[in-house]
Amino acid sequence: MSLLSQCLQNQWLSSFSLEPRPQESQLLRYLSPVLAIVLTLLSGALIFLWQGQDPLIGLHTFFISPISDSYGLAELGVKAAPMLLCAIGLAICYRANIWNIGAEGQLLMGALVGAWAALQVMDSGSRFSLTFALLAGSFAGLLWALIPAVLRNHFNTNEILTTIMLNYVALNLLLWAVHGPLKDPNGFNFPESALFNDSVTLPIILEDTRLHLGLMFGLLAMVAAWVLLSRTFIGFQLKVIGMDASAGRFAGYKEKKLVYFALLICGALAGLAGVSEVTGPIGQLVPSISPGYGYAAIIVAFLGRLHPVGITLASLLMALVYMGGEMGQIDLGLPLAIGSLFQGMLLFYLLACDVLIGYRVRIKKTVAATAAMPASEGA
Amino acid sequence: MKTLIKKVATAALSAALAASISVTAQAEEKIKVGFVYVGPVGDAGWTYGHDEGRKEMLHKLGDKVEATYVESVPEGADAERVIRKLAQQGHDLIFTTSFGYMNPTLKVAKQFPKVKFNHATGYKRSKNVGTYAARFYEGRYVTGLIAGEMTKSNVIGYVGSFPIPEVVQGINAFTLGLRETNPDAVVKVVWINSWYDPAKEREAAEALIAQGADIINQHTDSPAPVQAAQDKGVLAFGYDTDMSRFGPDAHLSGSLVHWGDYYTDVAESVLNDSWTAKDIWGGIDSGMVKMAPYNKKIPADVVTAAEKARADIATGSLTIFEGPITAQDGSVKVAGGVKLTDGEILSMNWYVEGVEGELPQ
């Protein structure tokens, strides 16, 4: 064994090296996620073997059977919608180097205020009850994102810290509301609001499923973000300050305005995701609105290369991995951890493959002395 | 008239025949039982307890049942999909083991009228949704009696999850027991707004110890509060399962829940086609609530008194929520001789005298 590892170290690894490319590879930028998915599937097959399962059946259970009927496909949309909305907003921020980690808090505020609005108007019989609730939720997310925007523009704070902290504030506000003012008066003091009636429930877009209008919001946001980023001047400005803020300033772009723009858009989209969850599949305000959609959306945004179309695919993939974890437990009796393992592997391989965007692998003809090249392994 | 009677009789007879055929058909079949868990099966508390119950059911019914579980299912939009998937995959009986699954369970049950559902700790039922819960508060009263004798600082710390009736009942029953043996002792409560969060549970326990508590009680699912008590050299009561291995010196006893018999009974009722949507609220008498082993530190006379109370609760000669009960503000909440009804206990949202702090409303 030690002989083998020595051979590997001495000859294998040192005969490869990474050297910087003169220019980043555009091909690999888009190929890297595909490569990561392939590697994840291969490693997954090995894990199934190790767990004593047929790898083909295992992969089928995880990635095919959750979406093998129309209900499953609809559920994929239900699960992907909130992540898609958040990730589109985050991508606009990240393109401009605005590190908003606060989609989770913005989503929760959207859910909280949207649910409050829904409860106020649901017995009014107005046709605009649902619209009012959706607008209220989006606006709440927008206002929640306004706080870190103001802090960054006028007090020079780091938005990573402020947005993370505001996530916890939002969660505690939600818990306070659901245990207090928004609690169902006929609910035996249990922490949840009254059930919403039809007037404030998102319409179902595929009969006999839970697929609701929220997915349409996500797809619309995708198209709008794509137009914004690739066809408008403001999108161009965002990308410029993201690549080189001083170049943007030199060109006379108003960086502060762009910070407001990106953060507020993201806040509104995350807020819409939140209110769509409570008026959609959940149907009331409960303490656990989001199992971390705002955080998962960060992964989705990067997995989708900060591109609206990529993000849409990535959010579907992420949703599928979640659902696969459930199917693995139901059909194969595999532990929940296998599902989490798939998520972890996907990210790990993506980061590893991303190295190839900036570097190329060089195979050396001669086997060089080993000690001279320790840096190549870490690169 | 005669023909009508004849017709009715024939119809009744054929219905009875059909029923008996379906009974025999059912009896030979194997049923699939699904469990939806809110935490991981290794939480050493609530979910672990349910999973032990599932295993006991499998052990007792052998090859007549098959069981599936899905762990750590969030109580939001995901629950409905998981419950529905279990129903769709041919599970005959599904247990949803956390309060937050109430509305999703009812929604799925409507779509799958032939599948039997049992939801833990909720209050909504339907034709094919029954509910079940344990009267944990009975065991907590007994731990209160012990706490009153064991505390020196007269301050007990209580790590609470959510301020819902189930938890408030526990705090009140514990405090009633506590003040029975020690009228000067008080209870301080910290809410962590989670069922299972070892880090928060531990922090809460440590904060309570810092405020002078020398016994920690908990209504959360991990053994972290017991571990914190062990590390700080104070005493503790576990919950759900015997947590003594997490704090051999600290762990005095605890109110345990035993789901195995219940799960076995319900599965059997599905096997012999006698299942109905019931509301089961089992206590010490039904064996659903048990006491964890008493620590050797507890003096023998205290153990004897605790065991006597336990036996009296089982026979019904001791009723915990029987007046006179004084509320936190000193007013008489329950007049002497009056017993609270189950409905009143199930919607309890007030503290008895001896609990400090305000109940979040």
pLDDT digits (tens, 9 = 90+) for B296-330: 999 999 999 999 999 999 999 999 999 899 999 99
- Go through chain A and tell me how many residues it has: 379
d(CA B331, CA B328): 7
Give all domains of chain A, ordered by start, each with its CATH number: 54-333 (1.10.3470)
B41 found inside a domain: yes
Cβ–Cβ under 8 Å, residues A323 and A66: yes
B148 and B105 inside one domain: no
Q: What is the pLDDT of residue B144?
A: 97
Q: Residues B155, B297: one domain?
A: yes
Q: What are phi and psi of A157, to 5 degrees?
A: -80, 160
**Residue B308 within a domain:** yes
Q: What is the CATH number of the domain that holds B340?
A: 3.40.50.2300
- CA-nearest of A310, A296, A141 to A225 is A310
pLDDT digits (tens, 9 = 90+) for B135-172: 999 999 999 999 999 999 999 999 999 888 889 999 99
Q: Using CA atoms, how far apart are residues B329 and A328, in angstroms rounded to an integer?
A: 53
Query: pLDDT tens digits, chain A, 379 residues: what are they?
Result: 455 555 555 556 667 888 888 888 888 888 898 999 999 999 999 999 988 889 999 999 999 999 999 999 999 999 999 999 999 999 999 999 999 999 999 999 999 999 999 999 999 988 899 999 999 999 999 999 999 999 999 999 999 999 999 999 999 999 999 988 999 988 877 889 999 999 999 999 998 899 999 999 999 999 999 999 999 999 999 999 999 989 999 999 999 999 999 999 999 999 999 999 999 999 999 999 999 999 999 989 988 989 999 999 999 999 999 999 999 999 888 888 888 898 889 889 988 998 988 898 888 765 544 444 444 444 3
B295 plus B229 within the same structural domain: yes
pLDDT at A13: 62
Same domain, B184 and B206: yes
Q: Per the domain annotation, does B361 fall within a domain? A: no
Please report where in the chains the tokens 């029975």 appear, as a residue.
B180
Compute chain A's Rg from CA coordinates. Answer: 24
DSSP assignment letter at B109: H
Instruction: Report residue B255 as tokens.
Output: 């109110």
Query: How high is the pLDDT of residue A231?
Result: 94
pLDDT digits (tens, 9 = 90+) for B217-270: 999 989 999 999 999 999 999 998 899 999 999 999 999 999 999 999 999 999
Confidence category of residue B29, pLDDT binned at 50, 70, 90: confident
Q: Chain A residues with CB inside 8 Å of B100's CB?
A: 192, 286-288
Q: How far apart are the first and last CA of chain B?
A: 62
DSSP H/E element including B96: strand B93-96
Do residues A323 and A76 make contact, with C-beta atoms less than 8 angstroms apart? yes
A182-188 contacts, C-beta under 8 A, 24 or more apart? A182/A112, A182/A115, A182/A116, A182/A119, A182/A285, A184/A284, A188/B123, A188/B164, A188/B165, A188/B346, A188/B347
C-alpha dist (Å) from residue A256 to A92, A235, A245, A253, A265:
15, 15, 11, 9, 14
Interface test with A, best of B58, B83, B123, B193 (most A CBs within 10 A): B193
User: What is the rounded CA–CA span in Å between residue B28 and residue B93?
Assistant: 16
**Reported confidence tier of residue B177, pLDDT bands at 50, 70, 90:** very high
Residue B58 lies in a domain: yes
Instruction: Kindly tell me if the per-residue pLDDT of B23 is higher than 80.
Output: no
pLDDT at B178: 97
Q: At what angle do helices A308-332 and A26-50 cross, to 10 degrees?
A: 0
Are both B157 and B167 inside the same structural domain? Answer: yes
Question: Is B247 part of a structural domain of the chain?
Answer: yes
Candidate from B71, B73, B361 with C-beta closest to A180 = B361
For residue A144, how many C-alpha atoms fall within 13 Å in the half-sphere facing its CB? 38
Q: 3-class DSSP state for residue B142?
A: helix
- B275 lies in a domain? yes
How far apart (Å, rounded) are the C-alpha atoms in residues A178 and B162? 11
pLDDT surpassing 50 at residue B18: no
Could you tell me which chain A residue has the CA closest to the CA of B100?
A286
In chain B, which residues have their Cβ closer than 8 Å to the Cβ of A326?
A: 70, 73, 78, 81-82, 85
Task: Determine the average pLDDT of the residues in B198-206.
Answer: 96
B184 with B47, same domain?
A: no
Assess whether B263 and B333 both reside in one domain: no
**Does residue B276 share a domain with residue B237?**
no
DSSP code of residue A181: T
Q: Which residue among B73, B81, B99 places its CB closest to the CB of A190?
A: B99
Residue given tokens 């509320």 in the structure block: B327
Task: Give A368's contacts (C-beta < 8 A, 6+ positions apart).
Answer: A14, A15
Q: Which residues pair with B210 in a beta bridge?
A: none
- Give A361→chain B minimum CA distance, Å: 42
- The predicted structure's pLDDT at residue B309: 96
What total of structural domains would you count in chain B?
A: 2
Question: Could you tell me the pTM of the whole model?
Answer: 0.83
Q: What is the mean pLDDT of residues B335-347?
A: 90
Task: Please report residues of A whose CB lies closer than 8 A to that of B78.
Answer: 79, 291, 322, 326
Domain finish residue from B219, B247, B282: B282
- Do B157 and B65 sit in the same domain of this protein? no
Least confident piece of the model among B123-132, B189-198, B251-260: B189-198
Structure tokens at B157: 């710390």
Pair (B145, B46) in one structural domain: no
- Identify the residue among A83, A104, A330 best suited for mutation to test binding to B, counting B beta carbons within 10 A and taking the highest: A330
Nearest to B224 by CA among B288, B167, B159, B272: B159
What one-letter code names the amino acid at A274?
G
Q: Are residues B113 and B153 in the same domain?
A: no
Q: Please indicate if any CB of chain A lies within 8 Å of the CB of B86.
A: yes
The whole-angstrom distance between residue B273's C-alpha and the CA centroid of its chain comes to: 26
CA–CA distance from B140 to each of A32, B167, B350 (Å)?
A: 57, 11, 17
Helices (H), chain B: 2-28, 46-61, 78-88, 102-111, 136-150, 165-181, 198-210, 224-232, 260-271, 300-315, 342-346
Burial readout B320-337 (b: 16 or more C-beta within 10 A, e: otherwise): bbeeebbebeeeebbeee
A interface test, pick of B51, B73, B78 with most A CB neighbours within 10 Å: B78
Question: What residues make up the domain containing B145?
Answer: 136-256+288-356
Q: Looking at the complex, does the CB of residue B42 fall below 8 Å from at least one CB of chain A?
A: no
- B130 and B15 in a common domain: yes
- A189 close to B349: Cβ distance less than 8 angstroms: yes
